[in-house]
Amino acid sequence: MDFRKLQSANKLKSTELLFGMALLVGVVIWALLTYFGKTGVGVVPFAVGIALLSVWGSYWASDKIVLTMTGAKLITEADNKQLYDLVSEICIAAGLPVPKIAIVEDNAPNAFATGRNQDHAVIAFTTGILRVMDREELQGVTAHELAHVANRDTLVSAIAATTAGALALLSDFMLRMMIFGGGNRRDNNNNDQNPLALVASLVVIILAPLAALLLRLAISRKREALADVTAVAFTRNPTGLRRALEVLAADNTVVKQKSTAVAHIWIESPLDGSKTSQLFSTHPPLATRIATLRAMEGNS
Amino acid sequence: MKVLVLVLVVLVILALLAVMSRNRLVRASISVDEAFAQIEVQLKRRSDLIPNLVETVKGYAAHESSTFEAVVAARAKATTATTVTDVAAADGQLTQALRGLLAVTENYPDLKASTNFLSLQEELSSTENKVSFARQFYNDNVRTLNSAIKTFPSSLFVKSAGVTTKPFYEVDDPQDRKAPQVKF
């Protein structure tokens, strides 16, 4: 498979998913209007405002926050010249400025990248991954992480998180209003409403947060797949990343910092070990990722 | 009246698309120039490493004069090149000469073990990778620019944007496209 075609396909897919989110917002607003009339919609700015405040603060300071949460330590070129060289090389291929580089003390091999934009980006490696991978594999991992920076995935996840958060809040408000403030309904001639529409809007309000979560995870999986392909676009060497993923697949250790808040940014999801179903995982299965890379190797 | 408004809206949209197309061309052209400057930066880094490398190797393998001469001559040629094709040709020659020099060092275990040579080798290897990626990045940008110039609708604005197609950076030896990888 040609990596350029895969890149466009993945970008299209994730854009479609984002539109799916927007559509979900539209459907929820319809449900609000149907069930509560115009008064119901007044809650929307509050929900959006709260979601924005809670997500965008952490998006803006994502580099500092994630560094603190994971206990990562920044390094200079002199601290680890070979690693610095490796990262700089891919930055040239990607046309990115060299980000801050950090190391996390952890035996489990893993890596992540974060930061609100390419000028405030940070890429981190665990001591485990530096110990267990050779240069070619590390190059693949670095390229994958820098691909997240190049594709602005921190921004994409922030948008998805804000939307999902706002929807969850809306749903919560609505259910409370229904239980405690049923008086609203009398003001908008609900008797004229199609009872089916009322039920439908109720179902929507209850299920919206779940749908939003599923969409958000689907977006995360697509962006991970896109990062794999973009990594190949940078290195022109699918073998490096493929071998790196095989090393990760064979290794059973998991990073200590497995909080769900940061799970999505690691190259291998630390939550993979648990029996979470496919729909609830932030990354595509390693086997699928390895197979896609092998298919690309066949072409070079 | 409504038709007039519609026509105006369509015209505004078309004008915006035109501006976007033209700017895309200009940005693509600037990106190509920047990418070429990046190649030159990396080539200069490599060029600056060479005297030290040659001296270090000479310290252990003084009689391999033909190899040294090849490197020094190729380096001198590289410093005078300016156009894309000249720089690429000189780059290819120097890469080959350096490869010859490093092949020679295989026969001198004392040299290979010296810390001075090891750090130079890492520096050189990383610089070769950077040159290789800089070439790749330049060619990617040239592809974007040339495609934008040739495809509709941006092809309409080529004169207005004042851009021209740029040549690809082609190195002679196909082996040169792969940088020597050093395993730790």
Q: Please give the pLDDT value at position B170.
A: 85
| CB contact at 8 A, A86 and A108 | no
Per-residue model confidence as pLDDT tens digits over A82-107: 999 999 999 999 999 999 999 999 88
A89 and B130 in contact by Cβ < 8 A? yes
Nearest CA in chain A to B130: A89
Looking at CA atoms only, how far is residue B134 from chain A in angstroms?
6
Mean pLDDT (whole number) for A65-82: 88
Query: Using one digit for the tens of pLDDT, what is the confidence trace for B99-125?
Result: 888 888 888 888 888 888 888 888 888
In the prediction, which pLDDT does A274 show?
A: 53
The confidence score (pLDDT) of residue B62 equals: 78
Q: Which pair of tokens denotes residue A40?
A: 């119901």
Quote the pTM value: 0.84
pLDDT at B93: 87
The residue among B28, B180, B10, B34 whose CA lies nearest residue B105 is: B180
Taking contacts as CB-CB distances below 8 angstroms, the residues of chain B near A82 are: 122, 184
Half-sphere exposure of A26 (CA within 13 A, CB side): 6
Name the percent of chain B lying above pLDDT 70: 93
pLDDT computed for residue A235 by the predictor: 94
Q: Name the burial class of residue B108, with classes exposed (0-12), middle (13-18) and buried (19+) by CB atoms within 10 angstroms of its CB.
A: middle
Q: What mean pLDDT comes out for the span A139-156? A: 93
The chain A residue lying nearest B180, using CA atoms, is: A136
Q: Which of B31, B134, B184 shows the shortest C-beta gap to A135?
A: B184
Partner residues linked to A108 by β-bridges: none
Residue A27 burial (C-beta neighbours within 10 Å; 0-12, 13-18, 19+): middle
- For residue B28, is pLDDT > 60? yes
3-state secondary structure of A18: helix
Residue A300 pLDDT greater than 80, yes or no:
no
Across the range A71-92, mean pLDDT stands at 93
Backbone angles phi, psi at A75, to 5 degrees: -125, 155
In the structure, what pLDDT confidence band is assigned to residue A271 with cuts at 50, 70 and 90? low
Catalytic residue flag (residue A105): no
Q: Which residues of B touch A136 (CB under 8 A)?
A: 181, 183
Quote the percentage of chain A above a pLDDT of 90: 33
Identify which has the larger pLDDT, B108 or B177: B108
Indicate the range of A85-99, A103-117, B79-93 predicted with least confidence: B79-93
**Residue A163 C-alpha, separation from nearest chain B C-alpha, in angstroms:** 29
The C-alpha of A27 sits at a distance from chain B's nearest C-alpha, in angstroms, of 29
Q: What pLDDT sits at residue A183?
A: 46
pLDDT at A181: 64
> What ipTM score was computed for the predicted complex, to two decimals?
0.81
pLDDT of A179 above 70: yes
User: What average pLDDT score do residues B17-41 get?
Assistant: 93
